[in-house]
Chains A and B, each alone.
Chain A
Amino acid sequence: MIRAAGETENAADDDDPGGVAPTFSALLEDSAEDLYEHAPCGYLSTLMDGTIAKINTTLLGWLGFERAELIGRRRFSDLLTVGGRIYYETHIGPMLALQGEAGGLALELRTAAGTQLPVLVTSTVKRGSDGDAQLIRITIFDARDRLAYERELLRARRQADEERDRVRKLASTLQQTLLPPVLMTVPGLQTAAHYHPASVDEVGGDFYDLFPLTGGTWGFFLGDVSGKGAEAAVVTSLIRYTLRAAAVFEPEPISVLNNLNTVLHERFLAGDARFCTVIYGSLVPVPDGCEITLASGGHPPAVVVRADGTARFLHTPRGMLVGGVPNASFTAVTTRLGPGDTLLLYSDGLTEARTTGSSDRYSEEDLLAFLATANATGAAEVIRVLTDLLRGFGDGVEDDTALLALSVPGSDS
């Protein structure tokens, strides 16, 4: 002992000339009994029926009981809250009896003062030399910190859930500002639209609008900004008011797209390399219908479904995507909608959807064939059958999808 202390002193002299040696010496004199009584955890031994046989000072201190109040008088489950007692009797007790141990259990103890102490409990059965179960040994850890930690985890999870809801709400609110809340009614026409966002977490990049110009004429457009999310939404917003402003300034569709191209290409050069594809149209009422002129900037061709059920594309060849190059060229096409005719604009979310049960994608040709056989008359009906079609694709619709239809009511309606 003396020699050991001397050695320790020497070591202490080398490293730390503070007073380590006496502490180390005291540690060596620590007894098993003292370790049991004042361990940094609670110890409890019970008979097989749960009657408390031994308890350490640490646990007594936590509980606020006198030793004599518990030994031989109370059972371990008496120390538990009622809920914990049920759990002990129905679950922990049988586990101990069957496998001799039960660990990692979160329970709450009731203190003498009536407060609750969250603890983590590990129990083992001590067997005699003949293999018979003699005692249950229980180790108890103060779990107030763990409980706080768990509550923090739960709180963090709830907060994450709320944040996610908030982001979704923000995305859907922002989305609403990019689309007309209600499609305006054009005298003598039926109009309908549909928007299907691919994600509830992000703002989509598709857009459409329909608005009055002077002299009974109207402007309308439908398009798709490359990318999605907040940055795409900024561009979508820019496109929307640029198109509306440009249409007032010079309503001819090719001019409108030229204006938009100038604005977007400036951004493109400034570093936000983002383009859009769009069809812009002007609508002039004529007797028994309207005349429509469309200019396309790299967008899939519009479809006209005639009163007799035939469907065909309104091709606008070589109309370039908008914003990518300085002097993009656009082409216009003019058609007349008579009674029973419907014009459909759509985005490629529809024509690039994966069709159910295959890796094939829907195509413009499939859409034309579908409309030719769908026997849908009028804007509302065309949008309805296409909405059903989209629903049928389910998860196959990977991109946002916008649909806008205009029709002249049939002569018989």
Chain B
Amino acid sequence: MSDVDVSSRHNVTVIGRTDGPTVLLAHGYGCDQNLWRLVAPVLAKTFRVVLFDHVGAGGSDLSAWSADRYATLDAYAEDVLEICAELGLRDVVLVGHSVSAMIAVLAVNREPALFAKLVLLTPSPCYLDDGDYRGGFSRADIDELLESLDSNYLGWSATMAPVIMGNPDRPELGAELTNSFCRTDPAIAQVFARATFLSDNRADLPKVGVPTLVIQTAQDAIASQEVGRFVHAQIAGSELVTLDAIGHCPQLSAPEVTAEAISAFAGAR
């Protein structure tokens, strides 16, 4: 991996104030850094904002992806640390959405000295129900998700194959691709979905040693309020904010309040 330029591997974008504290935004499963499009400009007024795509998503270097390496969340956490190292980031406020909340927990636990604060946006440490713990999903549900990814494969290959094979006499396909956010190769989506929805990071939460903010929404079909409260309870000294927003992606459904909540926490001394 060392011979790869980390910035281009992750399609890293840096915006905002060069003299401000650094906020590193990590997108979740199913999309890419575009997910922060409505929040990043607000944060950029106060902070230096670093955006990136996980390997396999968005504008990342797909040749760096392998099913073996990215079968667990550890690889994604390692990537976050590599981005910090290459850009020389210090005192980072790491914001992880959805599955990246747990990726962020893993990264912070591995190198706590790099990070000033941690923001977990609609996090879930474990999506599967387990005894008294209500993750919200059964194994059958997740299998169903993996199946629905499969059933979207035929359409994907029809539109993507000419693009991937470099079809010079159909330039409109390239245009279509750049205009389409959150497109993912189903094979990659499968592996990421397994890593995301079958992992259990509950034991990693108590190890978090930096100030942490947990943000949840009033109605989230993926990470329930009960799960948000669990995360809050497991991380000593963490704060919990519940936004009056609906859905799993408040940065899209309620960008202003989401940016405000991150700003207030990240900027506080």
Contacts and interface: CB of A to CB of B under 8 A. Distances in A.
A and B touch in the complex (CB under 8 A): yes
B130 interface: no
A309 B34 CA distance: 71
Given A50-B247, A83-B146, A91 B252 contact: no
B63 interface: no
Interface string B241-265: 0000011110011000000000000
A87 B181 contact: no
Interface stretch (B10-18, B23-31, B77-85): B23-31
B154 A153 contact: yes
A93 B247 contact: yes
Contact of A87 (B30, B37, B247, B249): B30
B179 A49 contact: no
Given A81-B144, A89-B249, A98 B182 contact: yes
Contacts of A106: 148, 151-152, 155
Contact of B148 (A48, A50, A89, A108): A108
Contacts of A237: none
Interface string A185-208: 000000000000000000000000
A104 B159 CA distance: 11
A93 B152 CA distance: 16
Nearest to B158: A104
Contacts, number: 95
Interface in B139-156: 141-149, 151-152, 154-155
Interface string B167-186: 00000000000011110100
A98 B148 contact: no
A95 interface: yes
Interface string A122-164: 0000000000000000000000000100100100000000000
B221 A98 contact: no
Nearest to B182: A95
A94 interface: yes
A115 interface: no
Interface in A95-119: 95, 97-99, 104-108, 118
Nearest 7 A/B pairs, CB to CB: A83-B144, A90-B30, A83-B145, A91-B30, A82-B141, A97-B252, A49-B246
20 contacts: A50-B246, A77-B221, A84-B145, A86-B221, A87-B149, A89-B247, A90-B98, A91-B182, A93-B248, A94-B31, A94-B182, A94-B249, A95-B31, A95-B180, A97-B253, A98-B181, A104-B159, A106-B148, A107-B148, A147-B151
